Amino acid sequence: MIKEKLNTAQKALQINLDAKKYGTFAEIGAGQEVARWFFSVGKASGTVAKTISAYDMAVSDAIYGQAARYVSRQRLQAMLDLEFNLLVERLGKTRGEKCTFFTFADTVTTKHISKPGEDGGQGWLGVKFQTTPHAEPSQIIIHARMLDWETPRQQEAIGLLGVNLVHAAFYQTGDPITLIGSLLDGITNQRAEVDMIKFSGPAFLQVDNRLMALQLVEQWLTEAAMFTANGETIIPSELLYKKPVLLERGSFRPLTNPMLDMMERAQEMFVKEPALLGESPVAMFEMTLRQLQVGDAIDHQDFLDRVDTLGALGKPVLISNFLRYHRLVTYLSRYTQKPIGLPIGLVRLRDVLDEKFYTDLPGGLMESLGQLFKNGAKMYVYPSLDKKTGRLTTVQNLEVAPNLRHLYQHLVDNQFIVDITSFNVDSLKIYSGEVLAKIHSGDESVAQLIPPAIAEVIKTKKLFGWQKLVAAKT
């Protein structure tokens, strides 16, 4: 039997009637929208130990310590830590044997949106909680973007999201994937998106936050999620704000020598761009959900294999639903106005210029290219070598459809699309399918076709089926 989904009021009331849950609500910036739900449904005395809202910056600093930014992960963590510790200190002796304590906190800014496409509100929400009396606390923090135009609607969405988070922490701890799916109950992703989530503490020892970032995209809570090379989930502004970006997309199953050569040669050219003013770019990799599919589904272990190998190169990873480059660039431009460099192979460039992929856009290919290059983006194109004929194809001799020749020449003449001219010729003879076949067969010669750091990780962690097939051979 399918269990009926609770609405927001029912979730709040269920918590209020649970005598084992007792805690504090601390909210900054958008009103006490979450605490209000627990008071409005009744029986709040069974749940709410304290509510607090420190709007004045001086008051906030006096309570939680000074912060560079008030709507930030750091401020949220300070709120959670202080309020939870105070709760245990003050009530541990009187309620600690029969209650599990919790603290919910948020720090949010709302914004009236006057024009379509402008950013609305955004903020950090978190809950720190015990699963049993006297237990060490576990924690869930999220970052949300509010997409409604009107401030009251954004505030309302924060209230719904906060109740969903608290309820999920109490009753869905054992199923993080379902927990994530419940965060937008009653809201929809047209009103809000959750673009970062981090689980920590004893209740989540088996949770891999990289998989949880993937779940945010898979379940359409956001269009893209990001984590660092060491697996730390972050929001793009924490890494990309006012920084030039060099991004290579691919399936990375695994990343091969030509893929790395393409990134490194593009970076050599990108840093010489006058608009960078000598600033080092953030170099990163990106995979779309479609590139993550093995057959008709996403294999989560295969996904982890890929990100483990990319992590060996020390670069962050973006997971997205952006099939087209112009949507990717629009997304990145939300967080930085600096130049964006896109290393790309000849095969993928052909797809970018193929009109059949843009029939759903009113402006077709022209609209896509306009959005792609309007913000200073540039494509650095790695040549391809025909295995049979030995013909080298570059930007200069690429054949395009007759009706697109003048458009293509315009992009080349104005250096929106440029050749990577310094490249490793031997790398052009390496093909991803052959690399994966060697890995599957346990062929040691694969180490000559992929970066040493990645080869080491594959062998050490037995990725992409290496262990199974090598074991079978022995």
**What tens digit of pLDDT does each residue of 386-430 get?**
888 889 999 999 999 999 999 999 999 999 999 999 998 888 888
Strands of the 245-249 sheet, one edge to the other = 233-234, 224-227, 317-320, 282-288, 245-249, 340-345, 377-382, 417-419
Q: Which pLDDT belongs to residue 31?
A: 73
- Exposed e or buried b per residue across 318-337, where buried means at least 16 C-beta atoms within 10 angstroms of its C-beta: bbbbbebbbbbbbbbbebbe
> What distance in Å separates the CA atoms of residue 430 and residue 435, rounded to the nearest whole number?
8
Q: Is the peptide bond prior to 339 cis by the omega test (within 30 degrees of 0)? A: no
Q: 265-304: per-residue pLDDT in tens?
A: 999 999 999 999 889 999 999 999 988 987 778 899 999 9
pTM of the full predicted structure? 0.93
Q: Domain 8-207 is classified in which CATH homologous superfamily? A: CinA-like (3.90.950.20)
CA dihedral 254, 258, 261, 263 (to 10 degrees): -60
Q: Tell me the percentage of the chain whose pLDDT exceeds 70.
A: 96
Return the DSSP state at 89.
Answer: H
Return the DSSP state at 324.
Answer: S
Class of domain 238-429: alpha beta
pLDDT at residue 64 tops 70: yes
What's the average model confidence in pLDDT over 2-31?
Answer: 91
Q: Which pLDDT belongs to residue 1?
A: 47
Sign of the alpha-carbon torsion through 353, 266, 322, 331 = negative
Phi and psi at residue 48, in whole multiples of 5°?
A: -95, 115
Q: Which pLDDT belongs to residue 441?
A: 86
Q: Which of 75-79, 156-160, 295-299 has the lowest mean pLDDT?
A: 295-299
Q: 322-341: per-residue pLDDT in tens?
A: 999 999 999 999 999 999 99
Q: Which residues are paired to 406 by β-bridges?
A: none
- CB-count exposure of residue 21 (10 Å: 0-12, 13-18, 19+): buried
pLDDT at residue 467 tops 70: no
Q: 39-53: per-residue pLDDT in tens?
A: 999 999 999 999 999
Per domain, the residue ranges of the chain are: 8-207, 238-429
> What distance in Å separates the CA atoms of residue 382 and residue 9, rounded to the nearest whole number?
56
What's the average model confidence in pLDDT over 369-380?
Answer: 92
- Mean pLDDT over the full length of the chain: 92
Q: Do domains 8-207 and 238-429 have the same CATH topology?
A: no
